[in-house]
Amino acid sequence: MLYFSKLRITFVFFISLFFILITSFNFFKFDHDLLNKKINLGLDLQGGSYLLLEIDNSPVIEQKLQNLTLTIKNYFKEKNIRISNFKISNQSLYFSVNDEFKQIILDTFKDEESDINPYYPRFKSHQLDIIDNENNFQLKYSKQGIVELKTSSQDQALEIVRRRIDEIGTNEPNILKRGNDRILVELPGLDDPMRIKSLLGKTANLTFRFVTNNSEDSFGAEKLMYENNTDNEIVSKRIILSGENLLDAQPRMNNETNETVVSFTLDRVGAKRFGKATSQGIGKQLAIVLDGKIISAPVIRDTIASGSGQISGGFTFQSATDLALLLRSGALPAPLNIIEERTVGPDLGKDSIKAGIIALIIGFILVIGFIFIKYKIFGLITNTALIINLFLLVGILTLFEATLTLPGIAGIILTVGMAVDANVLIFERIKEEIKNEKNNLIAFDSGYTKSRTAILDANITTLLAAIILFFMGSGPIKGFSLTLGIGIFTTLFSVYFIARLLTVLYVLKNKEKEGLI
């Protein structure tokens, strides 16, 4: 029936007032965190940079296979099984075995309970595929193994990318997974992404190795270039220390040489290893290698047992700061390639906001004008509910500090249209009821009741579409579906609580009047 209890009226009033106040937070600044909530603007509205990064897992697979080579050698050596001709090619490990041991090899890799490495988790049969070609074997990651490896690399890379960006202090970055080998980075307000690209493009794999003139080094040796690509050194493949042993790294000024250096501190294990290596290598050059290039190769003058040291290399303060940041955040598990890049200038963002607001105002005025001319006093009630509906929608977005994009504004405009559509259905149904029912109260109540099914069906199907768009879409599509989905709930609330309450108050006051609508 057309009846609202005092409790329900109070509820509607306070809900409306609450979200009007929340909406006002966007226009005022408060010191308290609970009150200092605002809608964040997306890249298309405030400008910024969009980077889509792809993880190159080829080096990771090769490294895993190299580690697996050692594991296999040691495991079968203990069982007096001789394996030979190890070779890694095309993301596969090849090796040979005598015919008498062939079945043992197959059983070991196909057995779910086989533990070929006592120090690491077991290699399950679903992770590795072994292909038998007479006495030659090909070992490679299965499809599921590749997926697990990619997922692991992506999780590690995501955390390190987040650390690097957070250290720079970028405002409200958005860092998300895309598939199982891509990472999306959105940086609102950043219109010059060169530094970010430089930081994200470096794996930051740091190693300390001795320079050697002996190409027959027992650990092997390789020729590495300096960062300036003008000189090179033959460096031992034996890694004295890696970036994993770093506790901290900071840019500093060396008072003696008056140059910028990167000061680092090692953990307990790293300090012990570094002290031992420098005590045994006095007079030798220690190459500091970052991502396969030598930063510097100082001569060791004395034992460094303090667990701290300096990296020099003709740095500017900015480059020293960036290197320290990279070392602190840790090495990426695999290289990252930028496969898509977009930059939106702040001026373009302002133009988008202006265009969106103008479209919203024009659409709002036209809808308000039409509904008022069509339904007179009930049109005014609808328009009042429509304005409160917008406050509810913006208030909810503000409460959750959602990010508003240009498609999000389109979703708000569509919400306005849907809210009006629901009221039109109700009022047209009421007109039909009045033709058959002289009692205004019964006619209005029947109009609201009998139109409910059609309104709910229309809004539920739209809500389902919005949910699908939110989970299947990305970026701007999510913004559109979010505002549209929230708008459906605020529309139903404004229609069946706010507009209906105002209608009830008017009809009860004028229940004997003919031609109410």
Q: What is the pLDDT of residue 119?
A: 36
Would you identify the CATH topology of the domain 202-342?
A: Gyrase A; domain 2 (3.30.1360)
Q: What is the pLDDT of residue 348?
A: 61
**Residue with structure tokens 């001569």?**
299
Rounded to 5 degrees, φ, ψ at 140 are -145, 165
Q: What is the pLDDT of residue 2?
A: 63
pLDDT by position in tens, the chain (length 517): 567 788 888 999 999 999 999 998 888 776 666 667 888 777 777 778 888 999 998 888 887 887 778 778 877 887 788 888 888 888 888 888 887 777 777 777 765 555 554 433 444 445 677 777 777 888 888 888 888 888 888 998 898 898 888 877 766 688 888 888 999 888 877 766 787 888 888 888 888 899 887 655 567 788 899 887 778 888 888 888 888 888 888 898 887 778 888 888 888 888 888 888 889 888 888 888 888 888 888 888 888 888 888 888 778 888 888 888 888 888 888 888 989 888 776 666 677 777 877 887 888 788 888 888 888 888 899 889 999 999 999 999 998 888 788 888 888 888 888 888 888 899 889 888 888 887 888 888 888 889 999 999 989 999 999 999 888 876 678 888 989 999 999 999 999 999 999 988 888 888 777 767 7
Strand partners, 404: 41
d(CA 435, CA 187): 60
Are 41 and 404 spatial neighbours (Cβ–Cβ below 8 Å)? Answer: yes
Q: What is the pLDDT of residue 120?
A: 37
Fold equal for 6-47+346-509 and 202-342: no
Q: Give the gyration radius of the chain's Cα atoms.
A: 34
d(CA 364, CA 89): 65
Q: What residues does each domain of the chain span?
A: 6-47+346-509, 58-146, 202-342
**For 125-143, b where at least 16 C-beta lie within 10 A, e where not — what string?**
bebbbbeeeeeebbbbbee
**C-alpha dihedral over 322, 298, 225, 204, to 10 degrees?**
-30
Dump strand ranges (E) for 189-231: 206-210, 221-225
Return the H-helix or E-strand segment holding 183.
Answer: strand 182-188
**C-alpha dihedral over 9, 13, 14, 20, to 10 degrees?**
160
Are 108 and 123 spatial neighbours (Cβ–Cβ below 8 Å)? Answer: no
Are 479 and 42 spatial neighbours (Cβ–Cβ below 8 Å)? Answer: yes
**C-alpha dihedral over 169, 315, 203, 309, to 10 degrees?**
-100
Amino acid identity for residue 62 in this structure: E
Rounded to 5 degrees, φ, ψ at 39 are -75, 130
Q: What is the pLDDT of residue 464?
A: 94
In 3D space, the residue among 71, 60, 66, 266 whose CA is nearest the CA of residue 155 turns out to be 60
Q: Which two tokens stand for residue 174?
A: 């958005």
Q: What is the pLDDT of residue 493?
A: 93
Strand partners, 136: 96, 133
d(CA 197, CA 130): 40
Neighbours of 331 (CB within 10 A): 21
Q: Which two tokens stand for residue 418?
A: 């849907």
d(CA 188, CA 193): 11
d(CA 248, CA 207): 15
**Residue with structure tokens 């650390």?**
163
What pTM did the predictor assign? 0.64
Which residues, 6+ apart, have CB-to-CB distance to 377 below 8 Å? 506
Which residues, 6+ apart, have CB-to-CB distance to 498 below 8 Å? 12, 16, 384, 385, 388, 389
Question: Does residue 45 sit in helix, strand or coil?
Answer: helix
Would you identify the CATH topology of the domain 6-47+346-509?
A: Multidrug efflux transporter AcrB transmembrane fold (1.20.1640)
Strand partners, 195: none
Q: What is the DSSP letter of 144?
A: H
In 3D space, the residue among 51, 49, 50, 46 whose CA is nearest the CA of residue 346 turns out to be 46
